């Protein structure tokens, strides 16, 4: 499995505050992804990156932004958190040759 570390693992924040989740990988994988997981919806793609400074929107990108300044780090930012963004957030990485993706441990975010 890829070495993927997410931080923070758990966070409670207030509506309207900015929040940044960090994903760090040690496998030198080119591709990185942020998914959110909610009951009844499964895993849904928020944003993805196909290289340093190369990012694109996924299925549920509204209210989220991302940045990737180094191969190993992929940041997800909620500019102004809302209660609908209470969720479990998973980072994932993939390499072209492996052709599948591996998940980090998850970050539990509660917006009150």
Partner 1 sequence: QQPVQSPQAVILREGEDAVINCSSSKALYSVHWYRQKHGEAPVFLMILLKGGEQKGHEKISASFNEKKQQSSLYLTASQLSYSGTYFCGTASSGGGADGLTFGKGTHLIIQP
Site for partner 1, rule CB under 8 A: 1, 31, 33, 35, 40-45, 48, 50, 56, 58-59, 90, 92, 94-96, 98-106
Q: What is the closest distance, in whole angstroms, from the C-beta atom of residue 24 to partner 1 in the complex?
A: 15
Q: 43 vs 80, which CB is nearer to partner 1?
A: 43
First and final C-alpha spacing in the chain = 34
Q: 15 vs 43, which CB is nearer to partner 1?
A: 43
What's phi and psi for 84, nearest 5 deg?
Answer: -70, -10
Q: What is the closest distance, in whole angstroms, from the C-beta atom of residue 9 to partner 1 in the complex?
A: 11
Strands 19-25 and 4-7: antiparallel
Q: 35 vs 64, which CB is nearer to partner 1?
A: 35
Count of CB atoms within 10 A of residue 5's CB?
14
Q: 79 vs 105, which CB is nearer to partner 1?
A: 105
Question: Which tokens go with 39?
Answer: 């009951």
Q: What is the closest distance, in whole angstroms, from the C-beta atom of residue 29 to partner 1 in the complex?
A: 9
Residue closest to 30 by CA, chosen among 54, 66, 1, 7 = 54
Q: What is the closest distance, in whole angstroms, from the C-beta atom of residue 3 to partner 1 in the complex?
A: 13
Residue closest to 34 by CA, chosen among 69, 73, 3, 83 = 73
């Amino acid at each position: 499995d890829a070495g993927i570390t997410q931080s923070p693992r758990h966070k409670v924040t207030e509506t309207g505050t900015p929040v940044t989740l960090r994903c760090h990988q040690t496998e030198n994988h080119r591709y990185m992804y942020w998914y959110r997981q909610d009951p009844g919806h499964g895993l849904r793609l928020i944003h993805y990156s196909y290289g340093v400074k190369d990012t694109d929107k996924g299925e549920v990108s509204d209210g989220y932004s991302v940045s990737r300044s180094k191969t190993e780090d992929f940041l997800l930012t909620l500019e102004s958190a809302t209660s609908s963004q209470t969720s479990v957030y998973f980072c994932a990485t993939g390499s072209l040759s492996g052709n599948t993706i591996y998940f980090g441990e998850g970050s539990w975010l509660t917006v009150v």
